């Protein structure tokens, strides 16, 4: 990453969404503001969190479980054998949860009780190779078709709603995104080897940012968040302000870290550790 963009900042990344008054604090590290409140597990393969604070636990046996912010079980999705292993879960809309099965190019849409309400078979659109999907602004689904090198928007009925220009006409080397986020009027594609590609909803490329090697990429209020093994990063497109914060020792060895204003979720081999604001 270009070092000239890196500006160390006093406020930990974990509280970037807090008020300006709180931003005047100067704690030594995130450990000064957050404490471990509980651990969920073990045998957790992955997890995500919706905007209501509900936690979605994907166990190593492919069972998907929904927990309340307090850790109470709310729903279980056990239909784990029909389509193979779950590749990703999108809970952008808690009322329309996307479960993606890469091996079968199939997307299940679940309601808030984790009941299946719709199935999208991408093979019917001849979309056979996909790594990344994401919920679109209009509740359709963004899909990056690797074979066609096109970002496509697919409807609930499995129809093709819209598509971008062939990426091979736009770029010397085609991006290979693993994350798609639709936030605040833009679509963000993240390729760890090539960086962030930002499009508008009409499929026009707005910019490419050379932010490589990030893990746990996310977008919150047009701020780009991610990390490596040593630091958290936050970048606001259109500025030179790259904020960097050392990862506390307590989070070492995490396979995934998710940051919200009041809770930090840290997935380790021993389980999902939940750190809450003191």
Distance CA 81, CA 62 (A): 8
Distance CA 220, CA 260 (A): 9
| pLDDT for position 31 | 52
Distance CA 132, CA 143 (A): 6
Number of residues assigned to the chain: 278
Q: How many CB atoms lie within 10 A of CB 6?
A: 16
Q: Are 156 and 166 in contact (CB under 8 A)?
A: no
Segments of the chain with pLDDT less than 50: 1-29
Among 249, 242, 245, which Cα is nearest to 232's?
245
Determine phi and psi for 174, rounding to 5 degrees.
-75, 135
Give the residue carrying structure tokens 């093979």.
123
Written as six digits, the tokens of 87 are 């590749």
Q: How many CB atoms lie within 10 A of CB 58?
A: 21
Radius of gyration of the chain (CA): 19
Q: How many CB atoms lie within 10 A of CB 153?
A: 21
Q: Are 248 and 235 in contact (CB under 8 A)?
A: no
Report pTM.
0.87
| pLDDT for position 32 | 62
Determine phi and psi for 169, rounding to 5 degrees.
-90, -15
Q: Are 78 and 90 in contact (CB under 8 A)?
A: no
| pLDDT for position 222 | 86
């Amino acid at each position: 990453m270009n070092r000239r963009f890196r500006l160390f900042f006093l406020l930990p990344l974990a509280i970037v969404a807090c008020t300006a008054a709180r931003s005047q604090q100067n704690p030594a590290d995130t450990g000064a503001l957050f404490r471990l409140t509980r651990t969920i597990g073990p045998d957790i393969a992955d997890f995500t969190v919706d905007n209501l604070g509900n936690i979605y636990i994907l166990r190593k046996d492919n069972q998907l479980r929904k927990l309340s912010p307090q850790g109470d079980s709310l729903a279980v999705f056990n239909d784990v054998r029909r389509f193979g292993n779950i590749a990703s879960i999108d809970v952008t809309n808690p009322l329309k949860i996307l479960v993606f099965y890469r091996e079968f190019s199939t997307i299940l849409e679940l309601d808030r009780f984790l009941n299946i309400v719709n199935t999208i078979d991408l093979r019917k659109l001849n979309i056979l190779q996909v790594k990344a999907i994401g919920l679109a602004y209009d509740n359709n689904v963004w899909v990056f078709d690797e074979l066609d090198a096109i970002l496509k928007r697919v409807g609930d009925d499995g129809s093709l709603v819209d598509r971008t220009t062939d990426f091979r006409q736009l770029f010397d080397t085609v991006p290979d995104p693993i994350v798609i986020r639709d936030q605040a009027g833009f679509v963000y594609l993240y390729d760890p080897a090539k960086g962030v590609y930002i499009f508008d909803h009409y499929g026009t490329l707005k910019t490419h940012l050379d932010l490589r090697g990030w893990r746990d990429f996310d977008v919150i209020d047009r701020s780009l968040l991610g990390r490596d093994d040593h630091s958290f990063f936050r970048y606001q497109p259109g500025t030179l302000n790259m904020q960097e914060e050392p990862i506390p020792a307590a989070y070492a060895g995490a396979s995934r870290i998710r940051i919200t204003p009041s809770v930090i979720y840290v997935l380790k081999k021993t389980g999902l550790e939940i750190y809450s604001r003191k």
